[in-house]
Structure 1
Amino acid sequence: MGLTTTKAPYIEQAVSNGEMYITQPYELYSVENHDTWQRLFQRMQDHWSRYANQRFLDGLDTLCFEPTHVPRLEDVNKFMAPRTGFRAKAVSGFVPAFDFFDCLSRREFPTTITIRDGQSLDYL
């Protein structure tokens, strides 16, 4: 099951406990989660090379994402924080507008940590 969107007991438990801010339990990602990341990353690279502007591509290069596995937020933050002052902050799901903008005011960007299932790659 891993950390698949809508099927992750870790997330369901956090939501049930009223926890909006959580950690990224990297060991819970399944082989399927990493495979889905790899497939999606490869598909997006084709689109990015055709449609993305150079600033986006430069930023993507700076983050040093590995195409073979889900990124660790701590690694993303090592690259992002020194350059932008922002840090990714794991959340259990929907973040109300007030909390979202409060995070941004502290230069924290709320992000979910689940990976959609491999059958939902086209979902926006």
Structure 2
Amino acid sequence: MSDGGAHLPAAPPEGAAADWTIPQGWGDYTAAEHAVWDRLFQRQSAMLPGRASQAFLDGLDVLRLSRPGIPDFDELSERLMKATGWRVVAVPGLVPDDVFFRHLANRTFVAGNFIRRPDQLDYLQEPDVFHDVFGHVPLLADPVFADYMQAYGEGGLKFQGLGGLHRLARLYWYTVEFGLVREAGDLRIYGAGIVSSYGESVFALDNPSPHRVGFDIARVMRTPYRIDDFQQTYFVIDSFEDLLRQTLEADLAPLYRDLASTPDLDIAELAPGDRVLTRGSQAYARSKQDMKP
């Protein structure tokens, strides 16, 4: 989702449909662009077994994402529709929040159609087709996670006028983008921002710096996040079923009212009542802070 939509135009840009979708333009990708996808895919897929959720790994197979080259969204959507009724559409970049919520509520995932340059393999500020498709789409082949994404979109449409968009953004960030899950007696990654990042795939599970805390929806909504570096806290769900249950059972209107009078937590703070799985040293974040002039 966007950062509130303030920097986005009120109407779709030229060439986009009323719902902000555009043609993917699959035939316009160059051999070099396909090669960037292949390089990224090979690097990530080789290191994710034993680290990524089994549902994510299964999604790679179900959707045949191991085939060479940037996926064709039409072909990808055919396979995804058979699995969970979702489809993938191209957009020109970030879209307004109401547009984003409406697409999710209708089981449509919006993805950027451009791919990063070869010198941007390890970091890109705006999500590209690799982040959006490799990172997000495999889990949409899982029926429970697919329902969670739809429920998130429906919640956004219903409650976006209550002044809680920044709290909804935190929920998305700490689950869809940077979530961890208990699985097979261990922790696994499932958030798209982690599975599509070589460095964070290692950091999120192995580094002693970040906190790892049991997921609670109100706790997550009180916690700011980092957009410029590895996270200082990761939230761990017990299962996708539990994530969906907590989301469906949450009455966001009174929750927003309660949180409006409750101060945010510091990004590295542990709170009373936290289920602390790992008390991090925060050494990585402090080292980066010490390096600033």
Q: Same fold (TM over 0.5)?
A: yes
- Once the two structures are superposed, the pairs formed by residues 46-57 of structure 1 within 5 Å of their partners are 46-57=46-57
**TM-score normalized by the length of structure 1:** 0.82
Residue of structure 2 in register with 1:62 after alignment: 62
Q: Does 1:123 align with 2:123?
A: yes
Query: Take 2:13 and 2:104, find their aligned partners in 1: how far apart are those partners?
Result: 25
Q: Does 1:84 find its partner at 2:81?
A: no
The match for 1:98 is 98
CA distance in 2, matches of 1:114, 1:65: 17
Q: Counterpart of 1:17 in structure 2: which amino acid?
A: E
Q: Structure 2: how far apart are the matches of 1:120 and 1:50?
A: 26
Percent sequence identity over aligned pairs: 36
Write the mapping of 1:16-31 to structure 2, written as runs, cut at 5 A.
16-17=13-14, 19=16, 20-31=20-31
> What per-residue deviation string (whole Å, max 9, x for no partner) do you get for residues 50-92 of structure 1?
4101111011110101442110001111110111111001101
Cα distance change on mapping 1:105 and 1:91 into 2, 3 Å:
same
Say whether the 8 Å CA contact 1:37–1:67 is kept in structure 2. no
Name 2:210's counterpart in structure 1: none
Three-state SS of the structure 2 residue aligned to 1:49 is coil
Query: Does the 8 Å contact 1:24/1:113 carry over to 2?
Result: yes
Question: Is 1:35 aligned to 2:63, yes or no?
Answer: no
Distance of 1:114 and 1:100 partners within structure 2: 18
- In the other structure, the counterpart of 1:9 is none
Give the number of the structure whose alpha-carbon radius of gyration is greater: 2
Structure 1: where are the runs of 5+ without partners? 1-14
Output the TM-score relative to the length of structure 2. 0.36
Output the amino acid matched with 1:37. Answer: W
- Is the contact between residue 92 and residue 112 of structure 1 (CA under 8 Å) also seen in structure 2? yes
When residues 38 and 70 of structure 1 are mapped into structure 2, their CA distance, relative to the original with a 3 A threshold, is same
Structure 1: distance between partners of 2:89 and 2:41: 21
List gaps (5 residues or longer) in structure 2: 1-11, 125-293
Which amino acid is 2:14 matched to? N
Counterpart of 1:5 in structure 2 is: none
Higher mean alpha-carbon deviation, 15-24 vs 44-53, is at: 15-24
The answer to which structure, 1 or 2, has the higher relative contact order (CA under 8 A, 6+ apart) is 1
